[in-house]
Structure 1
Amino acid sequence: MNSRVSFPRALRPAMIVGVALAATAFSGCSVNNDGDDQIAGKQLFVAKCGSCHILGRADTKGVTGPNLDEAFRQSIKDGFGRDAIRGVVYRQILDPREGSAMPADLVDDEGARDIAAYVADVAARGGEDEGLLGSAVEKAGSDEPAVAENGVLTIPADPGGQLIFVNSKAEAPAGTLEINMPNESGVPHNIVIDGKGESPVVTEGDSKFTADFEPGEYTYYCAVPGHQEAGMVGTLTVK
């Protein structure tokens, strides 16, 4: 869509939002808004946009793009309805601002409508999604440590696109160790241990390096800008 729409001045700062794909219902039985599927919207938002944007209800922590809760908070206080915000988000997804980091073909029209419905409903709200929306996205990460096997330590990136390693802890014996980070998310990631190695950034596939490790504790993290700050970090214990 190339048509342009004039929005109230108070809403214009929010238009720089490189928006997302989301879905949420505040009651357990309502997951649609004028035919838009908010569950699909939430899932899309987390997978496609959460690596760049903070949105509290979606539990996304990306920091390279605008914080969506803060982007719309003042507009909501000033009395602009969520339907207006929904229109801003929808337009911004389909017709990104020139120079924006958000790709023009992030989603199709239906996906943009689903995302816009979700973001407009949950932006700047506290609490958590409930009912079907609350379970729409599987909780990221595992409480279990990654354990080295046959000289290889595998620490996957979250396959759903959230900024987290599946394992925030890892264990390995001293000696030569291959650090392997499988990434199925489509979001660019790598894995780094300062003084030991840095794997290449990949959007899909394995990213790895090999180094010698003495007993001790090491921090591993993703070096893509904003990812470590958002929580993509963990601790390797070598014994």
Structure 2
Amino acid sequence: MGKRIMPRAALCAVIVAVVPALSACGGVKDPQADVVAGKQLFVKKCGACHTLSRAGTKGTTGPDLDEAFQQSIKEGFGTTAVRGVIYKQILYPNRLPNDKGIKMPAKLVSGQDAHDVAAYVASVSSRTGKDTGRLATAVQAAGGGTATEKDGVLSIAADPNGQLAFAAAKASGTAGPVTIEMPNKSGIQHDIVIDGLGRGEVVSSGTSSFKASLDAGKSYTYYCSVPGHRQAGMQGTLTVK
């Protein structure tokens, strides 16, 4: 799902095909849809590829989901119709007309999880402002801490919730030899790089690391080199004492 706004005609065609079938099996009208769980799952499973302002995600591999339904919502398509389209795209992804982007894997989430994600995205797509209530605290913002070197190892974890961020946007170390590592439990592919010092391997589950020597009094920028991740904010500053 390249970054394109879904044309009205295309959305109409999908809605006509999707909504009756989902309504018949209780799909998009499921009163038990949990949008809090939907937001958490969206950030973890989908946010690395999609921008959605309310969720705080800035992925660029797939369409901007605020833009994708913007015109259709303005033209009167309701949340239920948009939710049906999203649900179908989660289970059975397809390229939109003239879309040369990468086709996303089918069923990144399924069952009730797919309903929850579809319900959340449909409820916030193209909407300004911020999530409130339980939604506001459903996903903890990443990058608030400082990673500190210990016994010659500087560990800067990738955000475990799938956000395109390191758990710490700042780090401190001492001059001399060091192992810089990035534990990654998110399931999203990441690495850690410092230009001129080293580059860890790309891992989706495991640890990316390299050995380097730090210069006293210098600052370095560490970042993830997976396309789109640094641009979305996955970087930080290492200060050497």
Q: TM-score, normalised by structure 1?
A: 0.85
Partner of 2:11: 11
Residues 158 and 165 in structure 2, CA contact (< 8 A), matched pair in contact too: yes
Amino acid across the alignment from 2:153: V
In 2, the alpha carbon distance for the partners of 1:187 and 1:101 equals 17
Q: 1:90 aligns with which of 58, 63, 87?
A: 87
Mark the runs of 5 or more structure 2 residues left unpaired by the alignment. 1-6, 16-28, 96-100
Deviations 1:174-232 (CA, angstroms, capped at 9, x unpaired): 11111010001111000000011110000111110001121211110000000000000
**Dislocated runs of 4+, deviation >3 Å:** 12-15, 98-101
Matched, 1:58 2:60: no
- Identical pairs, percent: 56
Aligned to 2:131: 129
Q: Which runs of 5+ in 1 are unaligned?
A: 1-6, 16-31
Q: Tell me how far apart the structure 2 counterparts of residues 101 and 212 of structure 1 sit (CA, whole Å).
A: 41
Q: Secondary structure at the match of 2:36?
A: helix
1:140 equivalent in alignment to 2:142? yes
Task: Tell me the equivalent position of 2:98.
Answer: none
- Kept in 2: contact 1:13–1:71 (CA 8 A): no
Q: 1:210 to 1:14 in 2, by over 3 A?
A: farther
Q: Please state whether the residue corresponding to 2:221 is helix, strand or coil.
A: strand
2:35 matched to 1:38? yes
Q: Distance in 2 between matches of 1:12 and 1:71?
A: 13
Q: Judging changes above 3 Å, is the alpha-carbon distance between structure 1 residues 181 and 225 closer, same or farther for their aligned structure 2 residues?
A: same
Q: Which residue of 1 aligns with 2:205?
A: 204
In structure 1, C-alpha distance between the alignment counterparts of 2:219 and 2:55, rounded to whole Å: 32
User: What letter matches 1:133 in structure 2?
Assistant: L
Whichever residue aligns with residue 219 of structure 1, its letter is: T
Cα distance in structure 2, aligned partners of 1:12 and 1:192: 45
1:225 matched residue in structure 2 = 227
Matches within 5 A, 1:53-202: 53-97=50-94, 100-142=102-144, 144-202=145-203
Q: CA deviation at 1:132?
A: 1.4
Shift of the 14–160 alpha-carbon distance from structure 1 to 2, 3 Å rule, reads: farther
**Cα distance in 2 between the residues matched to 1:237 and 1:101:** 40
Deviations 1:100-141 (A, max 9, x none): 432113111211111111111100001111111212222223
Count residues with an aligned counterpart: 216
Q: SS state of the match for residue 181, structure 2?
A: strand
CA–CA distance in structure 2, aligned partners of residues 176 and 89 of structure 1 = 49
Alpha-carbon shift at residue 78 of structure 1 (Å): 1.6
SS in 1 for 2:238: strand
Q: Scaled by the length of structure 2, what TM-score is found?
A: 0.84
Rounded Cα–Cα distance in structure 2 between residues aligned with 1:217 and 1:137: 30
Letter in 1 for 2:62: G
2:107 corresponds to which letter in structure 1?
D
